[in-house]
Amino acid sequence: MATDSSAPQAAKVRLPYYDNVKFFLIVCVVIGHIIKFGPMDTASEARGLGVFIYSYHMPLFIFLSGLFLKRERITFAGTFKRAAQYLALYALAKVLRRAVPFMLGQPVTIDWLNEAGLPWFMFALAAYYVLAWALQWCNFYVVGIAALVGALYAGNVPEIGDYLCLSRVIVFFPFFWLGHALDARRVTEHFAQEGPKVAGVALILLAGYVCFTHADALFGYRDLFLGRSCYALSPIPRCTWMNRLCGYAVSLALSYAILAIMPQGHVPLMSTYGTRTLQVYLLHYEVIELLWVYGVLDAVLNCDKYGWVLFIPLAVLIAVVLSIPKLPKLPKLQVPEMFKRATSAADGS
């Protein structure tokens, strides 16, 4: 998603591996939102699938965003333009989220400073780019430890919530910083080896078995991967920082597993449409909402005891259809004249 236009400068050829990963992840995002509208209250197995998907899909997306932002490429001007673009996308996503309610004649209001739904990701990326620029001279390890400690402590503060997407910005920042600390080509080389692939398959089979056989018991723990609730408001009994730390461990393990099993070469459809995940992210929720309003999701769910399984190919179809048009990229924002001198001073140029 965020890495759609951030290929490493050193690489003349785009790495299809990461496009494959991103296409898989955006399908997971669509599946997660379909399940949210559909069978969360009726199909235990779908709950298990929801917990499984939520445990890694956004942490891994954010990790990839950090992975493709290198310190040597950070400038004040570049940071300003990228952050402004993501804030513009945040505003666009906020408007799109009100499209279906408006069509249905419901009253529509927009709270620009509070966000509990999918636009938070755009706001968080804008914040991460600014933080990466501000912290570029700091020791990676010190920042990483501070980010982790801050994220674990944030759950104790009820005031840290959806305002300015603050809770999610803090909770997911360690994943961004971890990616920011690594080199994309070295990550690719590591996962090209046989050992990580075997470990990845084993981890996925184990996690899948646990999620599907203990779906109802684990469903409340999905809250660990949303990054929103403070500990006191969590559905998890006696939730503390240790629960969040365990959630981080699960997210890291399954993110590692997904990266390990993804094909590294060009894959028809995946590699092409993996470059267009941003447009799918912006538009898919409205498509799902319309399918729910007009009874399509209920019809699919009720067609059979395992009708919820059909949500998976439906999610793939939605992701593919929304990827087909190659939408133009946002125009590069021109840095206003008033910022040029500040840019030169900040970048040392």
The 10s digit of each residue's pLDDT in 218-270 is 988 999 999 988 999 999 999 999 999 999 999 999 999 999 999 999 999 89
Position 328 scores a pLDDT of: 65
CA distance 72 to 225: 31
| Low pLDDT (below 70) residues in the chain | 1-13, 39-42, 328-349
Predicted TM-score (pTM) of this structure: 0.89
Position 13 scores a pLDDT of: 66
Position 329 scores a pLDDT of: 59
Counting Cβ atoms within 10 Å, is residue 126 exposed (0-12), middle (13-18) or buried (19+)? buried
The angle at the Cα of 231, spanning 94 to 218, to the nearest 5 degrees, equals: 85
Position 297 scores a pLDDT of: 87
Q: Which two tokens stand for residue 194?
A: 């046989």
Sign of CA dihedral 178, 184, 185, 187: positive
Nearest-10 crossing angle of helices 241-261, 166-181: 50
CA distance 61 to 247: 16
Buried b (16+ CB within 10 A) or exposed e, 54-87: bbbbbbbbbbbbbbbbbeeebbbbbbbbbbebbe
CA nearest to 69, candidates 167, 225, 165, 184: 184
179 contacts 65 by C-beta, under 8 angstroms? yes
Position 119 scores a pLDDT of: 96
Position 340 scores a pLDDT of: 45
Position 206 scores a pLDDT of: 97
The 10s digit of each residue's pLDDT in 20-56 is 999 999 999 999 999 888 766 567 888 899 999 999 9
Query: Domain limits of the chain?
Result: 16-347
- Contacts of residue 306, defined as CB under 8 A and 6 or more positions apart, other chains included, come to 45
Position 344 scores a pLDDT of: 46
CA nearest to 85, candidates 176, 177, 161, 4: 4
Q: Which two tokens stand for residue 93?
A: 């996503």
